[in-house]
Structure 1
């Protein structure tokens, strides 16, 4: 995990995973899927919605549906500073 990822999690970001179903440009009856992951802020999900807007403007395959989940990996109550040390032998 990168240093940037840890900083984002401490600021309240969580991992957002989205599965986008879209129609193939040449075969409109065929659905395909695309998985997208990024650290994002709930409940507004600005990065996810920016990506969906980008898809609608720049990608030829029109979106059929989007499913997503969000999970905070570190919460404020889970992070603590340990100042003690135990030595054995």
Structure 2
């Protein structure tokens, strides 16, 4: 059994990142639309989010207005410890 790619990323220090992206509607610039993006990313530089926002700015018509980011580290490498022994509870 192999671990999932998401679990491997968590072991490398990645944590679940959620970004709320507010952008202006291309046809109605006075209106804002919300988009939620979620991916595993590295705190504090957020390379995956930056890559997505660069893609957005290059290819999509709706100009970015505001990006709010929340990040949670689910598993850090320091939290994984090898144990030498086995304990059984009856």
**TM-score, structure 2 normalization:** 0.87
How many Å separate the matches in 1 of 2:67 and 2:25?
Answer: 15
The 5 A counterparts of 1:7-22 are 7-22=8-23
* Structure 2 residues without counterparts, runs of 5 or longer: none
How many residue pairs get matched? 87
How many Å separate the matches in 1 of 2:80 and 2:40?
Answer: 18
Deviation at 1:87, TM superposition (A): 4.4
1:85 pairs, out of 58, 67, 87, with 87
Aligned-CA RMSD value:
1.4
Provide the secondary structure at the position in 1 that maps to 2:81: coil
Match of 1:47 in 2: 48
**TM-score, structure 1 normalization:** 0.88
* Structure 1 residues without counterparts, runs of 5 or longer: none
How many Å separate the matches in 2 of 1:48 and 1:69?
Answer: 11
Match of 2:35 in 1: 34
Match of 2:75 in 1: 74
Q: After TM superposition, what 4+ stretches of structure 1 lie above 2 angstroms from structure 2?
A: 76-83
